[in-house]
């Protein structure tokens, strides 16, 4: 009995140990090290933590977007959010520089042209509200450099400190929202420049602030001797009254300068504010300082403020793969992936943020997936695998016979060629030119020939109707130009917020005065900064509806550039063209959006603000803004409109342009109801898009859908990003159960090669297209299977025994 008992206990112990021991002790790696630091800082303990505990190492954010490489290297989806951060900061840097210096194109008066406080606040709110991936936005001024129109008798005086900042609140527990879900639409808005003079730890310009690396990135700006150290930008302005003016202003450094215009901070803990780990993009704002001295030689350009846009560190993708071609530069997390290096190699995936497992393990060249596995091994599954699973799985199998790639090849025999041409019959009998787009199955080569054949010089040879393409030709624009569209949306949201929240007639106690209505210079600056801050935006326009802008019937600043990487821009008020039927209110997308938003505004998004402003002009302390709750309605991305690609032969920018337009809203004259006030439109070059030739669902409006040339029996098509508007932006990967037969550093057929060789068939030339097929995965090599062998031996031995008996 007791023996039985002991045996039972022993077995139980065995199982218990076995279960416990299935997870091996993993050595601590760079990720764990950072994660410990990441978790250590909390809202409660951060004020007493040492400065070094409030920052993460610089290398934790790898692959920062570099403005010098925008035209050469594609930006991958794992960096689009950082790119938006970069471009937003840059845009704001240009805008504030423009608007602070715009006093030089206006008559000298004994008052300031500067925007009021509400303009600053709402501008930072719009940065965050229109961009879900941005969590905070701010403008920090150096001491005694911020002029304001918000106080009476404040001419030539400055705020000691001024720093309007907005961050997104988690409104899960907010009494305004009863649903108990986070809307992401509530913002904390405050002036960080208002603090009591004795509490020096609240002074963002001093070291006592601890986390102010954004401030130190560019400020304080001490200019010595040479007074012309700031980069200048030139804008040719043409006003509605047909007068021209060239305005030159100082701004952030140019893209070609070193250092460039944007600096990123290390990740830091936003202590006492949003209490999250943030990464900031910082751009300086230039002004001519000091002002109003009557001696221009002692006034010189100087950085007086910085624009700081921030996002959650947690949302920035990390790359755990070993260093290599796609993973150069500093990277704290390099080589923390668990891929089995002998047979697989690591490839990063996007959208994982600061989490383990954002990668997959593909087979190395010369290896293939086991036939029961459909796709590369996911990092997340590897990371969670038990010891046993890890050691027995996640390996690729060696491919037995590897071909050398053929060096010499031949013209295909006629019947094989005929077979291919019957399959891709669109290459047999096709039309050229614009009509090639209208056949039932398009011949992509002809379509591209047509589209790329329309240029500045040739566009006059085409019919106007041929220069407007169907929307499906620009498939992917919504996604690939989302960053650009968001910048237009931001401006639309800002105008909506300003029109709804700032009342110029409001009277406050004390010396405070309400913001004046939006001025022409502000709107011109905002529009221009879209073009300046984003290299992919070619034109930007703010079209105000008839009689909606103060003192103007029509008003429509339209900014554009004629070449990339230049410091010269053009700005025109297209209200100049005011003949009935030709003005901008006749634009199809203007009319469409105006009609759509004529009566019903229910679907607009509602944004709440909790605003704290300064007590008086010296700051001292902050107080609640008089209105509470404070909210406005504005459009989201889906409320805007994408146009079909168009080539405007008579336009300012002669390219295939795709336009996104977003509406903005204010109150009607009785202040009771919302009203459509106009639109903001940005245009991008369609030829910067990647085209997708892979198959997709029947309802997906993509003109190039399913035009790839992969062998469908043995391989499937996977898009490659960053190849732009050219054929072959895909690869043919082997299907499950097939293997890549050639000796090659890659394990797929490259789309560009496939397309080129296919064309050779069409032209009846030498082609190796016929060899672009994966091979059925057979046994890798001759191998002895011991179980089967022993069973067979046993059986034959038994038979032998019976037989001999
Ligand atoms: C501004 O004020 C100064 C002195 O108060 C006066 O001399 C000057 O004429 C004024 N300028 C304008 C444009 O009003
Ligand atoms: C910051 O933005 C991310 C989206 O990128 C969002 O998931 C997160 O909740 C935001 N943080 C706060 C405090 O709202
Ligand atoms: C800003 O101006 C105030 C008042 O004129 C002065 O006391 C203070 O020293 C100035 N600060 C700086 C940094 O110049
Ligand atoms: C068009 O603009 C010109 C110049 O600004 C102005 O004289 C004219 O009255 C305008 N016409 C209309 C119809 O508004
Ligand atoms: C034309 O308009 C601009 C801006 O409104 C103004 O500064 C300029 O003085 C005007 N020119 C004439 C000749 O009216
Ligand atoms: C302004 O410049 C444009 C070209 O940019 C020119 O066509 C136009 O005649 C100019 N207007 C005046 C009044 O000089
Ligand atoms: C404005 O302030 C600057 C520097 O503080 C001073 O040099 C200048 O004289 C002031 N101008 C006027 C018009 O008061
Ligand atoms: C982003 O993706 C690209 C292409 O896959 C890769 O080369 C790069 O290393 C990735 N970066 C990060 C941080 O994951
Ligand atoms: C080519 O197509 C046109 C019309 O689509 C047709 O009339 C013609 O017969 C076709 N030619 C060949 C060789 O199939
Ligand atoms: C609009 O015009 C009126 C009358 O000319 C003027 O008093 C007012 O200052 C103008 N408003 C703006 C914002 O320019
Ligand atoms: C601002 O308010 C503080 C505290 O109420 C006061 O001491 C200070 O004199 C005020 N400053 C001005 C310029 O009124």
Q: What is the pLDDT of residues 543-568, one digit of tens each?
A: 999 999 999 999 999 999 998 889 99
Q: How far apart are CA 491 and CA 167, in angstroms?
A: 18
Is a pLDDT exceeding 90 seen at residue 435? no
**What's 38's DSSP letter?**
H
Quick: pLDDT tens for 572-583: 999 999 888 889
Q: What is the mean pLDDT of the chain?
A: 90
Tell me how crowded residue 582 is: count the other CB atoms within 10 A of its CB: 9
Query: By the 8 A CB rule, do 345 and 360 touch?
Result: no
Q: How far apart are CA 336 and CA 566, in angstroms?
A: 42
> Based on the number of CB atoms within 10 Å of its own CB, is 649 exposed (0-12), middle (13-18) or buried (19 or more)?
middle
Ligand 3 atom closest to the Cα of residue 205 is: 13
**What's 314's DSSP letter?**
G
Ligand 10 atom closest to the Cα of residue 551 is: 1
Tell me how crowded residue 744 is: count the other CB atoms within 10 A of its CB: 16
Query: By the 8 A CB rule, do 85 and 342 touch?
Result: no
Is a pLDDT exceeding 70 seen at residue 2? no
Residue 361, helix vs strand vs coil:
strand
Ligand 4 atom closest to the Cα of residue 240 is: 5
Nearest to 658 by CA among 412, 437, 438, 488: 488
What is the pLDDT, as a whole number, of residue 295?
Answer: 83
Q: How far apart are CA 567 and CA 46, in angstroms?
A: 44
Provide the CB-side half-sphere exposure for 372 (13 A, CA): 3
Query: By the 8 A CB rule, do 103 and 113 touch?
Result: yes
CA of 228 to the centre of ligand 1 (A): 28
For ligand 6, pick from 238, 569, 572, 652 the residue to mutate: most ligand atoms within 8 Å of CB.
Answer: 238
pLDDT category of residue 18 using cuts at 50, 70 and 90: low
Structure tokens at 800: 């032998």
Is a pLDDT exceeding 70 seen at residue 780? no
- Give Cβ neighbours of residue 590 (< 8 Å, ≥ 6 apart): 543, 584, 661, 679
Which residue's CA is the closest to the ligand 10 atom numbered 5?
A: 551
Q: Which ligand is nearest to the CA of 110?
A: 1
Q: What DSSP element (H or E) covers 282?
A: strand 277-289
Q: For a pLDDT cut of 70, what percent of the chain falls above it?
A: 96
739 to 48, 744, 755, 758: CA distances (angstroms):
59, 13, 21, 21
543 to 168, 523, 596: CA distances (angstroms):
29, 10, 16
Quick: pLDDT tens for 507-523: 888 899 999 999 999 99
Q: How far apart are CA 526 and CA 494, in angstroms?
A: 10
Q: How far apart are CA 495 and CA 482, in angstroms?
A: 20
Residue 737, helix vs strand vs coil:
coil
For ligand 8, pick from 76, 81, 330 the residue to mutate: most ligand atoms within 8 Å of CB.
Answer: 76
**What's 644's DSSP letter?**
P
Nearest to 695 by CA among 711, 718, 713, 715: 718
132 to 146, 288, 437, 477: CA distances (angstroms):
29, 34, 37, 19
52 to 37, 41, 46, 210, 583: CA distances (angstroms):
10, 11, 11, 9, 59
Q: What DSSP element (H or E) covers 499?
A: helix 482-501
Query: By the 8 A CB rule, do 727 and 446 touch?
Result: no
End-to-end Cα, the chain, rounded Å: 46
Tally DSSP H helices, then E strands, for the chain.
15, 29
Q: Which ligand is nearest to the CA of 350?
A: 8
Provide φ and ψ at 113, rounded to 5°. -95, 0
For ligand 2, pick from 128, 134, 181, 312 the residue to mutate: most ligand atoms within 8 Å of CB.
Answer: 312
What is the pLDDT, as a whole number, of residue 197?
Answer: 86
State if residue 238 touches ligand 6 by the CB under 6 angstroms criterion.
Answer: yes
CA 222 to chain centre: 34
What is the pLDDT, as a whole number, of residue 242?
Answer: 93
What is the pLDDT, as a whole number, of residue 487?
Answer: 96
What is the pLDDT, as a whole number, of residue 24?
Answer: 62
């Amino acid at each position: 009995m007791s023996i039985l008992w002991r045996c039972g206990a022993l077995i139980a112990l065995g199982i218990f140990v076995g279960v416990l021991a299935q997870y091996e002790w993993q050595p601590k790696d760079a990720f764990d090290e950072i994660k410990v630091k990441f978790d250590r800082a909390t809202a409660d303990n951060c004020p007493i933590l040492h400065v070094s505990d409030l920052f993460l190492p610089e290398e934790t954010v790898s692959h920062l977007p570099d403005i010098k490489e925008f035209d050469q290297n594609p930006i991958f989806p794992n960096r689009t959010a950082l790119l938006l951060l970069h471009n937003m900061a840059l845009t704001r840097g240009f805008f504030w520089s423009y608007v602070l210096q715009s006093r030089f194109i206006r008559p000298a008066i004994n008052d300031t042209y500067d925007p009021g406080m509400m303009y600053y606040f709402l501008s930072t709110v719009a940065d965050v509200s229109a961009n879900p991936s941005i969590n905070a936005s701010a403008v920090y001024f150096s001491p005694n450099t911020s002029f304001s129109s918000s106080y009476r008798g404040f001419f030539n005086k400055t705020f000691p400190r001024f720093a309007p900042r907005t961050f997104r609140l988690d409104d899960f527990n907010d009494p305004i929202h009863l649903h108990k879900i986070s809307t992401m639409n509530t913002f904390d808005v405050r002036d960080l420049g208002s603090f009591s003079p004795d509490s020096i730890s609240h002074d963002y310009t001093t070291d006592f602030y601890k986390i102010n690396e954004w401030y130190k990135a560019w400020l304080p700006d001490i200019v010595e001797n040479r007074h012309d150290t700031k980069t200048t930008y030139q804008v040719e302005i043409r006003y509605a009254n047909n007068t021209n003016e060239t305005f030159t202003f100082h701004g952030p450094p140019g893209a070609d300068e070193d250092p460039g215009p944007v600096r990123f901070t290390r990740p830091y803990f936003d202590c006492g504010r949003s209490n999250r780990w943030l990464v900031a993009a910082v751009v300086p704002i230039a002004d001519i300082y000091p002002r109003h001295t009557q001696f221009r030689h002692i006034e010189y350009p100087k950085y007086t403020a910085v624009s700081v846009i921030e996002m959650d560190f947690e949302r920035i993708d990390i790359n755990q793969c070993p260093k290599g071609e796609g993973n150069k530069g500093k990277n704290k997390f390099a080589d923390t992936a668990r891929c089995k290096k002998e047979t697989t190699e690591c490839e990063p995936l996007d959208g994982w943020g600061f989490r383990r497992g954002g990668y997959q393990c593909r087979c190395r060249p010369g290896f293939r997936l086991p036939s029961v596995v459909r796709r590369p091994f996911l990092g997340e599954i590897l990371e969670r695998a038990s010891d046993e699973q890890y050691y027995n799985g996640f390996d690729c199998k060696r491919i037995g016979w590897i071909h050398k790639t053929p060096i010499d090849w031949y013209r295909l025999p006629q019947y094989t060629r005929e077979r291919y041409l019957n399959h891709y019959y669109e290459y047999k009998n096709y039309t050229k030119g614009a009509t090639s787009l209208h056949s039932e199955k398009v011949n992509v080569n002809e379509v591209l020939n047509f589209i790329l054949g329309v240029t500045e010089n040739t566009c006059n040879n085409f019919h106007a109707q041929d220069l407007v393409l169907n929307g499906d030709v620009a498939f992917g624009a919504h996604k690939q130009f989302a960053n650009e569209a968001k910048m237009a949306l931001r401006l639309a949201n800002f105008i909506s917020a300003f029109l709804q929240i700032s009342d110029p007639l409001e009277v406050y106690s004390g010396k405070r005065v309400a913001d004046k209505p939006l001025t022409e210079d502000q709107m011109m600056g905002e529009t221009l900064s879209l073009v300046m801050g984003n290299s992919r935006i070619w034109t930007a326009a703010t079209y105000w509806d008839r009689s909606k802008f103060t003192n103007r019937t029509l008003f429509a600043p339209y900014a554009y550039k004629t070449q990339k990487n230049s410091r010269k821009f053009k700005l025109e008020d297209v209200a100049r063209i005011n003949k009935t039927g030709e003005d901008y209110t006749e634009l199809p997308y203007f009319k469409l959006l105006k009609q759509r938003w004529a009566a019903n505004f229910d679907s607009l998004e509602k944004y709440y603000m909790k605003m704290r402003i300064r007590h008086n002009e010296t700051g001292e302390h902050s107080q609640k803004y008089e209105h509470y709750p404070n909210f406005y309605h504005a459009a989201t991305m889906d409320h805007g409109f994408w146009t079909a690609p168009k080539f405007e032969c008579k336009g300012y920018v002669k390219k295939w342009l795709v336009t996104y337009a977003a509406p903005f809203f204010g109150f009607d004259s009785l202040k009771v109801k919302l009203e459509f006030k106009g639109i903001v439109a940005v245009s991008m070059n369609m030829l910067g898009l990647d085209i997708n030739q892979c198959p997709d669902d029947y309802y997906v409006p993509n003109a190039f859908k399913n035009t790839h040339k992969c062998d469908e029996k043995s391989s499937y098509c996977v898009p490659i990003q960053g190849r732009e508007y050219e054929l072959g932006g895909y690869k043919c990967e082997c299907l499950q159960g097939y293997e890549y037969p050639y000796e090659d550093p890659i394990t797929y057929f490259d789309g560009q090669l496939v397309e080129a060789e296919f064309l050779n068939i069409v032209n009846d030339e030498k082609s190796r297209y016929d060899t672009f097929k994966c091979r059925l995965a057979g046994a890798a090599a001759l191998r002895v299977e011991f179980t089967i062998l022993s069973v067979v031996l046993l059986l034959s031995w038994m038979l032998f025994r019976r037989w001999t008996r």
